[in-house]
Amino acid sequence: MNNIAKSHLFLLGLVLLTMLWSVVGVEDTYLTWILEAAPAIVGLLVLVFTYKKFRMPTYLYVVMAFHMAVLLVGAHYSYAKVPLGFWMEDWFGWTRNNYDKIGHLMQGVTPALVMIELLRRTTPIKTAGWTGFLSVCVAEAISALYEIIEWLASLSNPTDTEAFLGTQGYIWDTQTDMFMCLIGATISVLIYLNVKKFRKLET
């Protein structure tokens, strides 16, 4: 096993340990935990089963591991009760726990970078402009789909899914969630494309 594979295995171990911590003594119900941790669990399974056939760059595994950690911390406490969010309230004078916005920022970052990799390796689309634009669009579409899932969950079980929604009485929660996703996707794509351009100039 080479050093790259070892680093990937190390990241997997960190995510599994975080998941184990997350599921023990959850703040809300286990239904809420399942709903909030599901994207991390599904994403991890997909990465494990596709690892040999479609291995991602190490930097992307680091980004995804961080994203999963953000989701699992949110699932453990339920997003409205994450301590970091309360600290941010004190630091910035906010009136709600905005930890969920970190999750939605990453909801833009991770899918956009994954999409760039997929486009680069499986399609004839190679131009930076189209690659970046389509990656941001896909990330935002995923965000919109997630908001629809939240809405359907609230319709099916309004009482038990209140913590899953995590609006905290904020009427613009859905819109700001999607806006944070857009910011995350746009920034990550711009950084990726500029780093790639800089590396080309060096060679």
What mean pLDDT is predicted for residues 17-37? 93
Confidence band, pLDDT 50/70/90 cuts, at residue 165? low
Residue pair 23/36 in contact (Cβ under 8 Å)? The answer is no
Percent of the chain with pLDDT over 90: 65
SS3 category, 93: coil
Residue 1 pLDDT: 72
- Domain spans of the chain, in order of start: 3-202
Burial class (CB in 10 A: 0-12, 13-18, 19+), 37: buried
- Condensed to tens digits (0 to 9), the pLDDT of residues 112-140 reads 999 999 999 999 998 889 999 999 999 99
The b-or-e profile of 164-191 (16+ CB within 10 A means b, else e) is bbbbeeeeebbeebbbbbbebbbebbee
> How is residue 138 written in tokens?
């896909």
Longest dimension (CA), the chain: 58
What mean pLDDT is predicted for residues 150-179? 70
Expressed in angstroms, the distance from the first to the final Cα of the chain is 30
Residues, the chain: 203
Among 79-93, 100-114, 177-191, which stretch is predicted with the lowest mean pLDDT? 79-93
Could you give the residue ranges of the DSSP H alpha helices within the chain? 3-23, 30-49, 58-77, 83-92, 99-122, 128-156, 162-165, 173-202
Residue 133 pLDDT: 96
Distance CA 76, CA 99 (A): 13
> Residues with Cβ < 8 Å from 144, sequence gap 6 or more?
178
Task: Compute the Cα dihedral for 149, 150, 156, 160 and give only its sign.
Answer: positive
Residue pair 85/99 in contact (Cβ under 8 Å)? The answer is yes
> How is residue 84 written in tokens?
């970091």
Confidence band, pLDDT 50/70/90 cuts, at residue 203? very low
Residue 202 pLDDT: 47
